[in-house]
Amino acid sequence: MIFDRPTAYELLDSVSIFLEEKIKNELPKHLGFNVQIAINVINIVKREIREGNEINESSKKIILEMLNDQETTEALAEAIKEGQIDLENKDLQKALLEITKMKLSVDNPNYSSYKNLVD
């Protein structure tokens, strides 16, 4: 990789820790809440950096298997729209659930719904 250390992930991690440990609790509650929102956004971006490529590849593989090697989410949407794949199709439901779980692992792995899905 062309960039040296610290990596983008490491920089975001440092900012997140700084905001959480040094800033958030020193502010009035309404500003602390806004800082927590910023921390959450930073943490989502960190997870996208760390896991995004793998999730994209896994999702692509799931869609390829569903559509017999047509590689786009648009092709999947079109197949559903055209009735080639029914929404009651168990393979489709399983595929969408797996993709959703991967996306939730980035969005917020602390969601109770996500935890129920992976437990």
CA distance 65 to 11: 37
What are the respective helix, strand and coil percentages of the chain, to the nearest 5?
A: 75, 0, 25
The proportion of the chain whose per-residue pLDDT surpasses 70, expressed as a percent, equals 93
Q: For residues 49, 54, 57 and 60, what is the CA-based torsion angle, rounded to 10 degrees? A: -90
Contact indicator for 112, 68 with CB cutoff of 8 Å: no
Which tens digit of pLDDT belongs to each residue from 57-84? 898 888 888 777 666 778 888 888 888 8
